[in-house]
């Protein structure tokens, strides 16, 4: 059995770590050389205010991770200490950064939790609960934002300020509709498994363990099927306060994440509608869900450059140049740190957690 558990994360290490960096910087470089104009530096000023707001953006990312750590400690009844919670979250984010956005890091997160001392069945239930809470945040926040923001403002890019026109061929609108529908269906199925039919959740987990790099754990997952059912029942029995605290940590975490671009753009320009900018970031995260590249590399930068360009109040000829610079800064704050931290933590974590048992 020990032999069976040797490093199942080979695909997350080595040269694979450089793929998202190469893709992301390649796209930024393409847009930079195609659109960048030296005059852009005339409207970008680096001063004390700029540095303070960039630091604020970094703090928003830090509070996002603190929210995640708080939540996983709540879901494990604090069986994970803060150091363990930090390792799990950093490795989880690292996996999400090097795996396609459509797959994400959830498929290996249960192993991270398990190797920190939580049995596999309970680890699976905890990861499923985090997934449920993440999707619930979007399912609730998106329609709430639509109640306060006109649909054409949220999806139409580059239209005249006084126009209410929104074409049904708008790609941002369709990305949002498809993404929201998928999230809603997934949340309903997951809710059914967690709170109504635990055996259905077991079936879902066994399906996940059919993935090539997880097949060696499939037999163990099958043996712990009863643990999955027991853990799901435990989650269903949790009091309202438990779920309120867990969702509160989720709300804190995701809201902090969506304020990053607000701080970065505000570092250089005034922002007239922070709520709209916040809402567009929420829609962007939904778009990234459907992308095949590692961590959405390349496409994320391209979407940022186009979808948030309306918030750059400069003449049209310079918008593209500045948007590319801000997109790169955005990824430097919200994405690349996880690649660095994960690369540092993962090798030693593998050596200690997958050491051969005698």
Minimum mean pLDDT range among 27-36, 107-116, 213-222, 267-276? 27-36
Mean of the pLDDT values across residues 123-146? 89
DSSP 212-238: GGGGGGHHHHHHTHHHHHHHHHHHHHS
Distance of alpha carbon 305 from alpha carbon 284, whole angstroms? 11
Handedness of CA 169, 175, 180, 182 (dihedral sign): positive
Distance of alpha carbon 347 from alpha carbon 278, whole angstroms? 36
Mean of the pLDDT values across residues 224-239? 71
pLDDT, tens digit (0-9, with 9 covering 90-100), for 196-216: 887 777 777 777 777 776 677
- Give the domain ranges of the chain: 3-157+168-353
Mean of the pLDDT values across residues 220-229? 62
Distance of alpha carbon 190 from alpha carbon 234, whole angstroms? 15
More confident residue, 138 or 317: 138
41 CB-side CA count, 13 A: 2
In the predicted structure, residue 1 carries a pLDDT above the cut 50: no
More confident residue, 52 or 238: 52
Distance of alpha carbon 173 from alpha carbon 65, whole angstroms? 29
80 CB-side CA count, 13 A: 28
Identify the residue whose tokens are 């126009």. 163
Cβ atoms of 205 and 198 within 8 Å: the answer is no
More confident residue, 204 or 109: 109
In angstroms, the Cα distances linking 239 to 196, 213, 282 are 16, 36, 29
Mean pLDDT of the chain: 79
Cβ atoms of 281 and 304 within 8 Å: the answer is no
Cβ atoms of 125 and 234 within 8 Å: the answer is yes
Instruction: Looking at mean pLDDT, say which of 155-159, 168-172, 262-266, 349-353 comes out highest.
Output: 262-266
Minimum mean pLDDT range among 55-59, 160-164, 335-339? 160-164
Confidence of residue 304 (pLDDT cuts 50, 70, 90): confident
């Amino acid at each position: 059995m020990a032999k069976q558990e040797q490093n199942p994360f080979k695909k997350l290490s080595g040269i694979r770590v450089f793929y998202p960096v190469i893709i992301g910087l390649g796209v930024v470089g393409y847009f930079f050389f195609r659109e960048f104009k030296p005059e852009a530096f005339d409207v970008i000023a680096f001063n004390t205010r700029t540095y303070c707001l960039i630091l604020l953006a970094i703090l928003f990312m830090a509070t996002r991770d603190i929210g995640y750590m708080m939540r996983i400690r709540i879901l494990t009844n604090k069986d994970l200490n803060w150091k363990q919670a930090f390792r799990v979250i950093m490795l989880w984010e690292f996996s999400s950064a090097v795996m396609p956005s459509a797959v994400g890091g959830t498929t290996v997160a249960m192993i991270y939790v398990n190797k920190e001392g939580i049995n596999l069945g309970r680890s699976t239930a905890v990861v499923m609960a985090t997934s449920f809470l993440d999707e619930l945040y979007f399912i609730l926040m998106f329609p709430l934002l639509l109640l306060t923001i006109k649909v054409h403002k949220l999806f139409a890019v580059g239209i005249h300020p006084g126009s209410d026109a929104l074409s049904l061929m708008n790609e941002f609108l369709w990305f949002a509709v498809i993404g929201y529908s998928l999230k809603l269906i997934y949340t309903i199925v997951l809710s059914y498994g967690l709170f109504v039919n635990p055996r259905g959740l077991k079936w879902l987990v066994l399906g996940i363990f059919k993935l090539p790099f997880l097949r060696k754990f499939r037999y163990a997952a099958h043996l712990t099927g009863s643990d999955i059912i027991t853990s799901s029942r435990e989650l269903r029995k949790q009091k309202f306060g438990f779920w309120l605290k867990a969702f509160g940590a989720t709300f804190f975490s995701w809201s902090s994440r969506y304020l990053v671009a607000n701080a970065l753009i505000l570092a250089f320009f005034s922002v007239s509608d922070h709520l709209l900018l916040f809402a567009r970031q929420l829609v962007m995260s939904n778009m990234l869900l459907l992308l095949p590249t590692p961590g959405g590399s390349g496409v994320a930068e391209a979407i940022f450059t186009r979808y948030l360009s309306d918030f750059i109040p400069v003449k049209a000829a310079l918008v593209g140049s500045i948007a590319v610079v801000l997109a790169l800064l955005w990824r430097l704050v919200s994405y690349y740190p996880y690649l660095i931290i994960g690369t540092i933590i993962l090798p030693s974590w593998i050596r200690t957690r997958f050491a051969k048992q005698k």
